[in-house]
């Protein structure tokens, strides 16, 4: 199926900016301070969830002033769709997890089914502790379980279809300089 690039461009032009790049960067600064306080005396294994977590991780990791090991995993429910389907493990964790402190970085906590499945998998594989950090927490009651939140969150954002800083619109605009909401979705 061919993508309509004009529609993709219009979507960005017409989108509502919910958080500017400066606001996002300020939130990442706060997260970096909190994570450094938490992990400065440990040796965490940091997993970046692809593809969404890559931009967030690229902005966050250089701000963390402690030794850490970085790896990636790829689990998704969306693909090119705008609504979730079954969990698809594209790349499972490959590092030894026995007794490790693990931090999972992702772009957004929407309903949280993907993140919950990742955390469960890492614990089942022997991680001593698994914590999560997300750039965006989408505000709504449809979480995987009541009260679900990441251990570290940058921004709480309205329940809209978002893109930018790792989140995408039909595979595009992960690179948008801010957090944007699609009009009409």
pTM, rounded to two decimals? 0.91
pLDDT at 78: 54
Q: Which CATH class is domain 5-181?
A: alpha beta
pLDDT greater than 50 at residue 92? yes
- In this prediction, residue 79 carries a pLDDT of 47
**What's the pLDDT at 91?**
83
Residue 86 has pLDDT above 70, yes or no: no
What is the per-residue pLDDT across 14-58, written as a single tens digit (0 to 9) for each?
999 999 999 999 999 999 999 999 999 999 999 999 989 999 999
Q: What's the pLDDT at 88?
A: 80
Every domain of the chain and the residues it spans? 5-181
Catalytic machinery residues: 110
Give residue-wise pLDDT tens across range 142-153: 999 999 999 999
* Mean pLDDT across the chain: 92
Q: Pick the more confident residue, 12 or 1.
A: 12
DSSP the chain: ----HHHHHHHHHH-EEEEEHHHHHHHHHHHHHHHHHHHTTS--EEEEETTTHHHHHHHHGGG--S--EEEEEEEES-TTSSS--S-EEEE---S--TT-EEEEEEEEESS-HHHHHHHHHHHHTT-SEEEEEEEEEE-SS--SSTT---SEEEEEE-SS-EEBTTB-BTTB-TT-SEEEE-TT-
Q: Determine which of 44-48, 112-116, 129-133 has the lowest per-residue pLDDT on average.
A: 112-116
User: What pLDDT sits at residue 50?
Assistant: 92
Residue 80 pLDDT level (bands cut at 50, 70, 90): very low
| Structure confidence at residue 81 (pLDDT) | 45
Paired with 185 in beta bridges are none
Question: Which pLDDT score, from 0 to 100, does residue 90 have?
Answer: 81
The pLDDT tens digits for 137-184 are 999 999 999 999 999 999 999 999 999 999 999 999 999 999 999 998
């Amino acid at each position: 199926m061919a993508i309509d690039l004009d529609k993709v461009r219009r979507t960005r032009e017409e989108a509502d900016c919910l958080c500017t790049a400066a606001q996002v960067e300020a939130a990442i600064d706060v997260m970096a301070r909190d994570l450094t306080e938490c992990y400065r005396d440990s040796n965490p294994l940091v997993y970046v969830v692809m593809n969404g977590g890559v931009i967030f991780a690229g902005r966050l990791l250089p701000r963390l002033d402690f030794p850490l090991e970085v790896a990636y995993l790829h689990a998704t429910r969306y693909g090119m769709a705008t609504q979730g389907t079954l969990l698809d493990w594209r790349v499972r964790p490959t590092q030894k997890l026995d007794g490790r402190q693990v931090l999972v970085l992702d772009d957004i906590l929407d309903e949280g089914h993907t993140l919950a499945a990742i955390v469960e998998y890492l614990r089942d594989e022997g991680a001593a502790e698994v914590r999560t950090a997300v750039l965006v927490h989408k505000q709504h009651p449809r979480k995987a379980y009541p009260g679900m939140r990441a251990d570290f969150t940058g921004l709480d954002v309205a329940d809209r279809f978002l893109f930018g800083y790792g989140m995408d619109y039909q595979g595009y605009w992960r690179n948008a300089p801010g957090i944007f909401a699609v009009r009409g979705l």
